[in-house]
Amino acid sequence: MTKLIPTLIPLLIAAALAPALAQGQDLKVALIAGKTGALETYAKETETGFMMGLEYLTGGKMEINGRKLKVIVKDDQSKPDLGRTLLAEAYGDDKVDIAVGTSSSGSAIAMLPVALEYKKVLIIEPAVADAITGDKWNRYIFRTARSSMQDALAAAMVSPAGSYAFLAQDYAFGRDAVKAAKEALIAAGGKAKVVHEEYAPVATTDFTSSAQRIFDALKDKPLPRVLSIVWAGPHPMNKVADMKPERYSITLAPNGNILPVMKTWKSFAGTQGTIYYYYAFPKNKMNDWLVAEHTRRFKTPPDVFTAGGFAAASAVHTALSKAGSGDSEKLIKTMEGMEFETPKGKMSFRKEDHQAIQPMYHFRIKKEQKNEWDLLELVREIPAGEMPLPIRNKR
């Protein structure tokens, strides 16, 4: 009979127990969001949607394949340096299996190299800058949020011709969105001409000079004359409208926004635009639950970023369930081309750049509103297949 060397016995026991120990370990997820600062509302919605998504998908157990699911929430204050530090802390100290974040595109871009350094998956939600799945991308990056180009392609289908001007914030989100919008208008047939781009500081409250420059640039140009406003946070549409752009036959074209902002647009009945999500548009079991449960708990329907957080939770849950572990290589293999259900319906991660392919919505502001949140009517759902989203990461 073979005798075991005493010093080998503990090693053999540890090896035998390793699968069982791994099976029993918690699965850890980091959620990084700008919970203080200009994007506080977006972050709060994202966190609410993320936690409600995990609750729904796990049947309230917060378990995946019998393993407890632990969510570690961190506030990057929408600051790139802090976002980078917190993600490194999540991967290195907290030993999370996967991370999700963040609210600001600038902070999200700063976080991308950290995912590469630690060789850990990072799901981007809700930052939209095209660079995230473009020239700044790496193989550990997936995005459930829509991109600036997806926003732009949808918007271009609503007003593909005429003379355009843009008012946007002077930082990564605003400039990226305008760049995408110009390309999208070309993709929509090239009948529109962009005559002016106006960038204002993020904290701007007086839009008099900006609006006047836009009016002067548009007023003699061919009809229709469209002013597209791309803005995060407190929206300037009412202030611009007070300056009476209709004097110059200029139409305002807002992108969709959060419910408290759109609630102030009641005087713009009939105005059309596009949006990532509005609670009354998708018709599916998951959205029905989200709308009913969110309304019951918070006395308001879910918002744009609530749905985004829920979508990120679904991607996390689907990936960890199918991969069977938090191993990064198994997750990447699982997630490339992976389909997952969201409140908007089915999404899938495109294999080439890991961007979530998804529909968008063409809306009209209602003339008759039954209550304070009955704001939009659906013109049509824009299928993902109608938006020719370019691949830009040069993989």
Distance CA 306, CA 47 (A): 7
255 with 233: CB under 8 angstroms?
no
What are the residues facing 252 on neighbouring strands?
A: 227
188 with 156: CB under 8 angstroms?
yes
Q: Name the nearest CA neighbour of 139 among 395, 375, 314, 365.
A: 395
| 2 pLDDT more than 50 | no
Question: Coil, strand or helix: which one is 319?
Answer: helix
Average pLDDT over residues 369-384: 96
Q: In this structure, how many other beta carbons lie within 10 angstroms of the beta carbon of residue 66? A: 8
Per-residue confidence band for 344, with pLDDT thresholds at 50, 70 and 90: very high
Query: Which two tokens mark 350?
Result: 């495109």
Q: What is the CATH number of domain 149-275+361-386?
A: 3.40.50.2300
Per-residue confidence band for 188, with pLDDT thresholds at 50, 70 and 90: confident
Query: Which two tokens mark 202?
Result: 């993020």
Beta strands per DSSP E along the chain: 27-33, 63-64, 67-75, 98-101, 121-124, 141-143, 161-169, 191-200, 225-230, 250-254, 272-275, 339-342, 345-349, 356-357, 360-365, 376-382
- In the chain, the percentage of residues whose pLDDT exceeds 90 is 80
Report CA dihedral (365, 367, 368, 372) to the nearest 10 degrees.
Answer: 40
pTM of the model: 0.89
Per-residue confidence band for 24, with pLDDT thresholds at 50, 70 and 90: low
Supply the mean pLDDT for the chain. 92
Question: What are the Cα distances from residue 107, in Å, to 14, 82, 101, 171, 211?
Answer: 41, 8, 9, 12, 29
Distance CA 244, CA 215 (A): 10
Per-residue confidence band for 267, with pLDDT thresholds at 50, 70 and 90: confident
Distance of CA 146 to the CA centre of its chain: 5
Question: What are the Cα distances from residue 326, in Å, to 174, 330, 332?
Answer: 35, 8, 10
Lowest mean pLDDT among 12-26, 301-315, 344-358, 374-388: 12-26
Question: What are the Cα distances from residue 44, in Å, to 40, 211, 316?
Answer: 6, 31, 19
pLDDT tens readout for residues 63-87: 999 999 999 999 999 999 999 999 9
| 272 pLDDT more than 60 | yes
Distance of CA 252 to the CA centre of its chain: 24
Q: What is the pLDDT of residue 13?
A: 46
Domains 11-146+283-358 and 149-275+361-386 share a fold: yes
Distance CA 55, CA 222 (A): 53
Distance CA 177, CA 163 (A): 18
Q: What is the CATH number of domain 11-146+283-358?
A: 3.40.50.2300
What burial class does residue 284 get, using C-beta atoms within 10 Å of its C-beta: 0-12 exposed, 13-18 middle, 19+ buried? Answer: middle
DSSP state of 145: S
Dihedral-angle region of residue 37 (phi above 0 means left; psi in -120 to 50 means alpha; beta otherwise): left
387 with 146: CB under 8 angstroms?
no
DSSP state of 26: P
Task: Give first-to-last CA distance, the chain, whole Å.
Answer: 57
Q: What is the pLDDT of residue 17?
A: 44
Question: What are the Cα distances from residue 241, in Å, to 106, 194, 235, 238?
Answer: 30, 20, 11, 5
What are the sequence ranges of the domains in the chain? 11-146+283-358, 149-275+361-386
Per-residue confidence band for 161, with pLDDT thresholds at 50, 70 and 90: confident
- Which has more pLDDT, 351 or 24? 351
Q: Name the nearest CA neighbour of 278 among 342, 358, 363, 347.
A: 363
Q: What is the pLDDT of residue 15?
A: 47
Q: Name the nearest CA neighbour of 197 among 313, 357, 180.
A: 180
pLDDT tens readout for residues 215-239: 999 999 999 999 999 888 778 888 9
